[in-house]
Amino acid sequence: MLMVSTLVCLSLALSIIIMIISTLISKKTINDREKNSPFECGFDPKGSARLPFSLRFFLIAIVFLIFDVEITLLLPLASIFDKTNTITWTMTGTFFLLILLAGLYHEWMQGALEWAE
């Protein structure tokens, strides 16, 4: 047990030392206005580099991403059908789909799925 704790402390100390050294080495000391500008070609930008972004589109994208990941989690259910008990498989799939439907219903009631007002 003493050997394991010694190795953990040694690896933690080594990691901290490497992070401190890399921070000290990577510091940029020369700050140039042209290098800090969005374009390095010598021209000043005409407008802001930050364009307004539709929050509704962002919410739709996040909901799509969440459901896409959940569908990816559902795919292995088809491959384990013959390796597991049918009742367990059905209950697991139904429970997972109910969670998906509850999330979809919640998003629908909150109005996150309404694109046009």
> What are the domain boundaries of the chain?
55-110
- What does the pLDDT look like over 54-106, one tens digit per residue? 777 887 788 888 888 888 888 888 888 888 888 988 998 899 889 888 988 98
Which of the four pLDDT bands, split at 50, 70 and 90, describes residue 38? low
Using CA of residue 56, residue 62, residue 63, residue 68, what is the dihedral sign? Answer: positive
**Average pLDDT of every residue of the chain:** 81
Which of the four pLDDT bands, split at 50, 70 and 90, describes residue 28? low
State both tokens at 56: 């509704």
d(CA 96, CA 102): 10
Which of the four pLDDT bands, split at 50, 70 and 90, describes residue 19? very high
pLDDT for the residue 12: 95
- Cα 86 to Cα 20, 70, 72, 81, 89: the distances in Å are 55, 21, 21, 7, 5
Using CA of residue 62, residue 63, residue 68, residue 72, what is the dihedral sign? Answer: positive
Amino acid identity at 77: L
Given a cut of 90, is residue 14 above it in pLDDT? yes
Given a cut of 60, is residue 47 above it in pLDDT? yes
DSSP letters for 13-46:
HHHHHHHHHHHHHT------HHHHSS--SSPPPS
